[in-house]
Structure 1
Amino acid sequence: MASSFPGARGLCRAALALLLGAAGFAQTAQAVYPDQPIKLVVGFPPGGGGDLYGRLIANAMSKSLGQTVVVENRAGAGGNIAADVVAKSRPDGYTILLAMSGNLAVSPALKPSTLPYKVPDDFTPIGLILEAPHGLFVAGNSKFPDARTVLATARKRTLSFASTGTGAAAHIGMEMVKQRAGVDMLHVPYKGSGPAITDLIGGQVDMFFATASPLMGQVRQGQLRVLALTGAQRSPALPEVPTFKELGVDVVVTQWYGLAAPAGTPQAVVKTLSEHLSRALEQPDVQQAIRKDAAMERKLPLDAFRRYIVEDIARYKSAATPELLTQIAQ
């Protein structure tokens, strides 16, 4: 019977060959990722702190992947514009985001209705890059010798603290310190660290609460002193500076940076990016560049990074008192 249908056997063989060929082509196509430059969208102008970290990782991953990772600066709205661009990009692994605590934790926690994207729904986390602690800074000649004295004084009279903007990660971090230490302080927002530091040194404000890494130069020069840092443990770059947690004020929120892709990006592609990010963070020159200013690299890939983001959003939500939300809305 079979011999009477030679054409059928030929058709079966041809169909099988086509199927095997298609499978082989699919495997080959997947294996060659990335076969074109990858765009890393950064929510800072060139030269800013986050931009420097983005370029550091882009350069290291370019070498590891054998394909260029190009930084595209999309500054504005505290990094939310960059996040929106990536959330709406094709999920093919060729457009990724320098995610950070501001656009993937603070904004989603405190003003989700104003965002054109949802976290974590609209993103596929690739991995955490680093954490930089926030610090309580005073002028080099300040009368406050340590953070305990600041907190004790704040319980007797109102002190003032500067930040680089209402609703920014550092501002919310200091609001957490206030809540958990049981003190009240006057918030004085500035447009940037430059004018805030000028007024701090001039005595117009008592303290400045900000991400520590960009201010390490002024600390080394003696213009500023840092009295306490956020984070779960002391910074190796500042081993003499206590954490707020050590002082009985359980505030561990940090300024963090990581990588994220649009939701729907193939898992194999995300895994490739995550593996090469881990390789980048193992490079001594990358570690040195991160650690020199009190930050610390931290490998936390894929689902672990997703859980980290969700937990950080919850921490910021815990600080969202009606008074704070009113400040942010103004």
Structure 2
Amino acid sequence: MTLNRRLALKSIVAITGTLLSLRNWAQSWPDKAIKLVLGYTTGGASDATARIIVRPLEQNLKQTVVIDHKPGAGASIGAEFVARSTPDGYTIGLTDTGPLCIMPHLRKVAYDPLTDFTPLSYVCSTGLVLIVNPALDVKNVQELIALAKANPGKFSYASSGVGSVHHLAGELFKARAGVFIVHIPYRGAGPALTDLIGGQIPIMFATIGPALPMIVSGKARALGVTSIVRSSSLPNVPTIAEQGLKDYEAVLRFYMVGPIKMPAPVTTLYQSNFKQIMLEPNVVSELKKLGNDDIVPKTPAEIQSMIQSDYRKWGAVIKDAKITLDS
């Protein structure tokens, strides 16, 4: 046997041994609890979304899944923790557009949102609703645009804070509509919604779930939703795109991700399980109750494409509006 043939044979044996070892390891995985990292505090929409998905995931994997909250820095702390975790599948994260596509344009983050994560599942999108205090004499988006154009700088809109999707939705609206409305950042969506209802501020881009009771009770008037299609929670409210701002869209998209370089068998196991979970009628129903839409499984390539597209889009909005965390 020649030297080259002996080396080739050794390589085949080594590769075969590695594959068998990996297969045996994957068959016993998971043999301990899995950590699901969230970049937000308990009690919010992200927490509620995670709990809906965790129950069937535990049943499928026959292992405990522990939700680990790591809030701060626009959820980028949680995203960094996932990106820097050992890629053995025992640490994954539920993350969204904020830390992936917005925060990296506003502050230095210790991860690359486009290359440091393994996409495991698309979860859903959460659209916003453009609402006004009922005292403001407008019934639709075009009337609001006309009023704002006739009174540049006179009106203001509230957001949950600088750099939030609520803020960027407003800046995108201003750019597309050609109007000047003053941004008033709040420390959270709750205080902003309270002030809108109280008449201290006339306009707001609000998350649909918390705003829904106020809309139904007549304390706030819905002019349009920011998703590209109508929300199942507000089927009679047209999209902003329908009302003249073509292709306008401002939503939070939620994803399940892991660190880069996860073992292929574990990655595949997660992806197949999440695909099954996201098709379960009770999961879809519970997510819709939170105001979520677009609950449709997507391929890893589709997920990467969506993240890249939103990264470019929100980066351009931030640059064009000259947004900083001090603005």
Scaled by the length of structure 2, the TM-score of the pair is 0.89
Hey, what does 1:69 align to over in structure 2? 65
Q: Is the 8 A contact 1:171 1:210 kept in 2?
A: no
Task: Identify which of 266, 273, 276 aligns with 1:276.
Answer: 273
> Whole-Å Cα distance in 2 between the matches of residues 256 and 23 of structure 1?
36
**1:118 maps to what in 2?**
112
The residue correspondences of 1:1-330 to structure 2 (distance < 5 A) are 24-108=20-104, 110-111=105-106, 114-140=108-134, 142-157=136-151, 158-249=154-245, 250-296=247-293, 297-321=295-319, 323-325=321-323, 327-330=324-327
- CA deviations on 1:216-237 (whole Å, 9 max, x unpaired) are 2332333223211112211122
Count of aligned pairs between the two proteins: 312
Post-superposition CA distance 1:152-208 (Å, at most 9, x none):
111111321000101111211110111011111010111112221222122221111
SS in 1 for 2:88: coil
**Could you tell me how far 1:294 is from its partner in structure 2?**
3.0
> Quick check: 2:159–2:189 contact (8 Å CA) kept in 1?
yes
- 1:9 alignment counterpart: none
In the aligned structure 2, how far is the partner of 1:210 from the partner of 1:79? Answer: 19
Identity of aligned residues (%): 31
Q: Counterpart amino acid of 2:282? A: D
Equivalents in 2 of 1:301, 1:95: separation in Å? 21
Report if the CA contact (8 A) 2:279-2:296 is conserved.
Answer: no
Q: Distance in 2 between matches of 1:18 and 1:207?
A: 65
Name the CA distance, whole Å, in 2 between partners of 1:62 and 1:77. 29
Are residues 21 and 309 of structure 1, via their aligned partners in 2, closer, same or farther at CA, if it must alter by over 3 Å? closer
With 304-313 and 137-146 compared, the bigger mean Cα shift is at 137-146
Which residue of structure 2 lines up, in the alignment, with residue 3 of structure 1? none
Q: What displacement does 1:102 show?
A: 0.4
Say if 1:23 and 1:89 are closer, same or farther in 2 by CA, change over 3 A.
closer
Name the CA distance, whole Å, in 1 between partners of 2:215 and 2:227. Answer: 19
Show CA shifts across 1:120-167 (max 9, x none): 111111121000111111235543222221111111113210001011
- Paired residue secondary structure (2:311): helix
CA distance in structure 1 between the aligned counterparts of 2:232 and 2:121, rounded to whole angstroms: 22
Cα displacement string for residues 86-130 of structure 1 (whole angstroms, at most 9, x for unaligned residues): 11100011101111010111112x22x511111111111112100
Alpha-carbon distance in 1 for matches of 2:79, 2:14: 41
Q: Which has the larger radius of gyration?
A: 1
Gaps of 5+ in 2: 1-11
Deviation above 6 Å: which 4+ runs of structure 1?
Answer: 16-22
Distance 2:57 2:135 in 1: 43
Kept in 1, the 8 Å contact 2:101–2:315? The answer is no
Could you give the per-residue CA deviations for residues 291-326 of structure 1, whole angstroms, max 9, x where no partner exists?
12431113123222111101110111221235433x
Which whole-Å CA distance do the structure 1 matches of 2:280 and 2:60 have between them? 10
Which residue does the alignment assign to 1:12?
none
Greater shift, 215-224 or 48-57, is seen at 215-224
The AA in structure 2 aligned to 1:200 is: L
SS for the counterpart of 1:274 is helix
Mapped partners of 1:273, 1:151: distance in 2 = 46
Cα distance change of structure 1 residues 201 and 95 upon mapping to structure 2, 3 Å threshold: same
Question: Is the 1:80–1:103 contact (alpha carbons within 8 Å) kept by the matching residues of 2?
Answer: yes
1:124 counterpart letter in structure 2: T
- Contact 1:49 1:214 survives alignment (8 Å): no
Distance apart, 1:20 and its partner CA: 7.2
- The alignment's C-alpha RMSD in Å is 2.1
**Secondary structure of residue in 2 paired with 1:299:** coil
- Name the TM-score, length of structure 1 as normaliser: 0.88
The 1:62–1:200 alpha-carbon spacing in structure 2 relative to 1, beyond 3 Å, is same
Give unpaired runs (5+ residues) of structure 1: 1-15
Aligned residue for 2:325, secondary structure, equals: helix
Partners of 1:55 and 1:293 lie apart in 2 by 12
